[in-house]
Amino acid sequence: MIDSEKIVEQPAKEMPQMRTVMLRMTNLRLHASGVFSNVYRDFDNAWKKPIPSISTTPISQFLSWFRYRGTLLEPAPQREIAIKKTWPENRERNFEMLFLTGIGRKPHKNVVQMIFAFSNRSGKHDRASGFNSLFFYLVFFVYTAWLVSLLQYPMEKCMFLLCESFVFEFLPDTLASVIKREKLDTTDIKLYAWQLFNGLRYLSSHSIVHRDIKPMNVLLDHLVGLLKIGDFGSAKTVRKVAKSTAYQVSNFAKHYTFHKCRVTRFYRPPELLLGAEYYNWTVVLRVDGLKCSSFLDVWSAGCVLGEMIRGKVLFPGRHRKHQLKLIFLSIGSPTAEDVKVMRVPTEIIFDGYVVVGTGLGMLCPNADPHLIGILSKILVYPPKERLHGRGLLLHPAFDSILQLINDL
């Protein structure tokens, strides 16, 4: 018997039909957040957790998201859901919102799909939303006071930030949590790698570059082996090769050095580490009519594959130069031709610093040779030569798991 007092009602739009519905939810609690490193299961007690010092907490920690989980009672069918609440910095619908609605495209089994959406102003005391708590308002007050005092951000904007709420089917794990918890066997690695690159192929067919592929942003149902690419907060649509950036700089922090990007260093391709500004997003038509993957995302996904094989981060650089050093030691330093095709600044010169790589097999001893072979074809300097798309998905190494893929 469900306690009627714990049922939350919230008007929302059903996606992609954009039909107005009334959500009836229960058992809502904070599951994770981008504010602190803690993850809460019991929302009622979340406010008891300590709030970090304003003076030591970077602004990026306050400009992120909360993720809740709960049970959707209506509309049917009853199911577990995840709710991501985020605060865009302007009043326009952000790219993540527009893409995840699914309007104008078919859903894909390896990419998260929004099922409902709603929005409200954070400064309005709306008890009907069911997400208000002492914890939330303490955080919001500290956040607001800090922005006003340190950055002179207008109080009226702080108090009425638009809060976007996205509702998804709940997947219990991330790839990061699974890697931390257990050693993946070869079958699991192949199963998840195939689905990850299959999802990227779908995104590239819609001219989407994710720009933040990493285990934390890959959602799993580990019991059934299902993978979905999530968190499109850094994604963008690219129609041609153009000057762009893989970095998302907050409007609040453009003049501050502590918040330069959301793309995690461990998964950043070498052309970005070396300062390239014109990236080969490569949304070009091939003979078969399909569009190639973003080679930026391909490198990142290769690092994720290496992390699954190794059981820990493949290139755990402490800073940009150390990140490059680890890559050089593994696959060798780039040649003059590599530097040219990566479009890095001409002042980048490697004369006198030639490294012969030890090979990726040294980082992943006892790994399946087929997986190391795939990894070695993905993690190369020339972006267009990175194994991707249909060629990768049809690699013989995946023959053994194709039936499992079909059964998902």
Backbone dihedral angles phi then psi of residue 219, each to the nearest 5 degrees: -95, 145
- Which residue spans within 157-260 are E strands per DSSP? 162-169, 173-174, 208-209, 218-221, 226-229, 236-237
Per the annotation, the verdict on 212 as an active-site residue is yes
Which H/E stretch holds residue 324? helix 320-331
Q: Which of 188, 212, 297, 338 is catalytic?
A: 212
Which H/E stretch holds residue 190? helix 186-205
Which H/E stretch holds residue 337? helix 336-341
d(CA 47, CA 73): 26
Contact 26, 73 (CB under 8 A): yes
d(CA 343, CA 243): 11
d(CA 293, CA 297): 7
Contact 311, 225 (CB under 8 A): no
**CB neighbourhood size of 28 (10 A):** 19
* Catalytic residue ranges: 212
